[in-house]
Amino acid sequence: MSETPTPEQALSAARALLDEKMANVERLTETRKRCAELRQQLEEAERADAVQWAEALRAGWSEDELKRCGLGEPARKKPGRPRQSRSSRKSASVGADGGAGQ
């Protein structure tokens, strides 16, 4: 039979177990913090990618040309309002002009 531990021995063993559990929680929180930081960096990189994609389009590249260069559309679109097609803008302005002239 094993000998019954003294209160000091039992508390020491319990503290060792708690210290191990606390170390696990500490590592977990450090990992979660790192994940949050990396998510933030990814979000910033995706925003920059969308801006550069839009810059390339404004510089005269077509989406098809960029895709043929191996550069697919960005994961995120540039923030802001979606652009209207030219035909949508013309029909909207014709309707507005027609109503204003009457």
Structural domain for 19, as ranges:
8-77
Q: What's the whole-number average pLDDT of the chain?
A: 86
Answer whether residue 2 is part of any domain.
no
Query: What's the pLDDT at 101?
Result: 52
Answer whether residue 28 is part of any domain.
yes
From CA 70, how far away is CA 22, in angstroms rounded? 48
For residue 20, the SS3 value is helix
Answer whether residue 36 is part of any domain.
yes
Closest CA to 56 of 66, 64, 41, 48: 66
Q: What is the helix (H) or strand (E) element at residue 55, kind and residue range?
A: helix 7-58
pLDDT in tens, 51-85: 999 999 999 999 999 999 999 999 987 666 666 76
Answer whether residue 3 is part of any domain.
no
Question: pTM score > 0.95 for this model?
Answer: no
Q: Does pLDDT of 1 surpass 70?
A: no
All residues at 6 or more sequence positions from 85 whose CB lies less than 8 Å from its CB, including other chains = none
Q: What is the helix (H) or strand (E) element at residue 5, kind and residue range?
A: none
pLDDT in tens, 17-43: 999 999 999 999 999 999 999 999 999
